[in-house]
């Protein structure tokens, strides 16, 4: 019987940042498809040293869960 979940290292998910000209600033990995998620998405973003988040976005309904595993800076 298959496990009722998908286990995936987020660093193994494709980094999409270079496709959008952001490879020097951050890594952006969108794992919803890799995790076979149907009702949610998972994004892993890593800002590179001495860089700032280049943009933000909003949604009509609250649906975000965020976790910061480590942060250093000003």
pLDDT digits (tens, 9 = 90+) for 63-74: 656 666 666 655
Report the alpha-carbon distance of residue 69 to residue 25 in Å, rounded: 18
Report the alpha-carbon distance of residue 33 to residue 29 in Å, rounded: 11
User: For the whole model, what pTM was predicted?
Assistant: 0.68
pLDDT digits (tens, 9 = 90+) for 9-65: 888 999 999 999 999 999 999 998 888 888 888 888 888 999 887 777 666 666 656
CB 13 within 8 A of CB 44: yes
Parse the chain into domains and list their residue ranges: 10-42
């Amino acid at each position: 019987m298959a496990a009722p979940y998908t286990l995936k290292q987020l660093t193994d998910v494709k980094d999409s940042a270079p496709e959008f000209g952001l490879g020097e600033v951050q890594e952006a990995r969108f794992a919803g498809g890799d995790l076979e998620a149907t009702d949610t998405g998972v994004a892993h973003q890593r800002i590179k040293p001495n860089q700032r988040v280049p943009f933000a976005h909003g949604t009509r309904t609250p649906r975000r869960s965020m976790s910061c595993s480590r942060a250093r800076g000003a």
